[in-house]
Amino acid sequence: MSRWVLGFLDTRIRLIRLILATTAVALLILGWSIGPYVSKHDWAWVASHHQDFQRLAAIPAAVLAFLEALRASLQQLAVERAKDVQEQFDEILVELENACALNGLPSRTYHCGITVWQLQKITRGDRKQGENRPRLKTVAIRTVRYKRRTSGLRWRLGMGVIGMALKDNTRLAVDVDEAWKPLRNCGAATWDAQPAEVRQGLSYAEFQTAVSGAAGSDEPAGQFVLAVPVWKADKPVGVVALDTPPEMAPAARESRVPDLLYAVGTYVLVR
């Protein structure tokens, strides 16, 4: 259950609570005030129907109690699912550590991140700007503890390793630093002349944004990225990405890590 759904439900329950409380009070007042006039000031009519109005007034309270119970159940389900996802993330990192040990590679899982991205619909704002690539939204994450700040670039279908993997429905493993480091101070003409697998669907301006934290420094232009797409039938749903230091790449590729990434992606994205 996404945070958006829970937030939407909370907002609607607050509105419904106000409406139902107002309705309950109105029914009680109605029973005492209008009754005498309907019955020509016969207070016996009011007394005989008082319980009926009380029962009507109890209906909104019962509906509200049901909605509150539903919200609590959904919140608990969301907590349990988030816990399950984090446990699967931990399993992936343990598998990665074991693969590094078997291959004699350095293991720095504290510099590894896992992100599940969900494909969104194209918005009206995107269309106004001439953008026809759906955005990718983060729906689950194990944050990478990496000193370089994030670019702030909005990743979309066909952009970057994750966008290309999802668009082509192909698992991709790319050392971003190796591909981009020689180009981070290049001009637009040089960038446009690069092969498609290097440009990764990015314009020159988007590339500059992506490497903005590394330009003019000795920092890596990016990490090694292993992206595993998730499709449902013949439609793309989302993608799962593992970010690691480049020296851990062989362990990520040659282990159960890609299959475990697909498993957690399916769990999060496919209903």
- The DSSP-derived string for 168-228 is HT--EEEEHHHHHGGGTT--HHHHHTS-HHHHTT--HHHHHHHTTTTTTSSS-S--EEEEE
pLDDT at 216: 47
Question: Do 71 and 108 share a domain, yes or no?
Answer: no
What's the predicted TM-score (pTM) here?
A: 0.74
Find the CATH number of the domain harbouring 134.
3.30.450
Predicted local distance difference test score (pLDDT) of residue 215: 46
- Residue 86 belongs to a domain: no
**Last residue of a domain, which of 75, 94, 115?**
75
At 130, is the secondary structure helix, strand, or coil? Answer: coil
> Which pair of structure tokens corresponds to residue 263?
């498993």
Percentage of residues in the chain having pLDDT higher than 70? 70
Report pLDDT for 267: 93
Asked whether residue 165 falls in the same domain as residue 233, the answer is yes
CB 219 within 8 Å of CB 213:
yes
Domain range holding 107? 103-269
Give yes or no: residues 122 and 192 share one domain: yes
Most confident of 72-76, 122-126, 196-200: 196-200
Looking at the structure, do residues 57 and 181 belong to the same domain, yes or no? no
In a domain, 179, yes or no: yes
What's the confidence (pLDDT) of residue 65?
A: 74
| Spatial separation of the C-alpha atoms in residues 116 and 265, rounded to whole Å | 6
User: Is position 255 within any domain?
Assistant: yes
More reliable by pLDDT, 68 or 24: 68
93 occurs within a structural domain: no
pLDDT digits (tens, 9 = 90+) for 42-59: 555 555 555 665 666 666
How confident is the model over 256-266, as pLDDT tens digits? 999 999 999 99
140 lies in a domain?
A: yes
Helices (H), the chain: 3-33, 35-38, 43-102, 124-128, 160-168, 176-180, 188-192, 196-199, 204-210, 249-253, 257-269
The domain boundary residue, chosen from 75, 93, 119: 75
The answer to whether 169 touches 181, Cβ cutoff 8 Å, is no
Residue 214: count of CB within 10 angstroms of its CB: 19
- Averaging pLDDT over each range in 42-46, 132-136, 139-143, which range is the top one? 132-136
Specify whether 122 is located in the same domain as 232: yes
Share of the chain above pLDDT 90, in %: 42
Please tell me whether residues 25 and 114 are part of one structural domain.
Answer: no
178, 246 Cβ separation under 8 angstroms: yes
- Answer whether residue 214 shows pLDDT above 80: no
Domain identity same for 200 and 261? yes
> What is the average per-residue pLDDT within 23-40?
56
Domain end marker among 75, 90, 118: 75
pLDDT score of 237: 95
Same domain? 66 vs 121: no
Q: Of 140, 114, 119, 154, which Cα lies nearest the Cα of 231?
A: 119
Q: In terms of domains, do 68 and 111 share one?
A: no
Structure confidence at residue 119 as a pLDDT band (50, 70, 90): very high
Q: Does residue 170 fall inside a structural domain?
A: yes
Decide if 95 is inside a domain. no
Looking at the domain assignment, is residue 185 inside a domain? Answer: yes
* Residue 209 to residue 162: CA distance in whole angstroms: 16
**Under DSSP, is residue 117 helix (H, G, I), strand (E, B) or coil?**
strand
The pLDDT, as a whole number, for residue 257 is 95
The answer to whether the beta carbons of residues 171 and 143 sit under 8 Å apart is: no
Higher-pLDDT residue of 198 and 29 is: 198
114 and 46, same structural domain?
no
More confident residue, 79 or 54: 79
Tell me, yes or no, whether 29 and 125 share the same domain.
no
CB 255 within 8 A of CB 95: yes
Q: How confident is the model at residue 242 (pLDDT cuts 50, 70, 90)?
A: very high
Specify the number of domains making up the chain.
Answer: 2
Statement to judge: residues 247 and 147 lie in one domain: yes
Question: If we measure between CA atoms, which residue out of 17, 22, 23, 24 comes closest to residue 67?
Answer: 17
> Has residue 255 got a pLDDT over 60?
yes
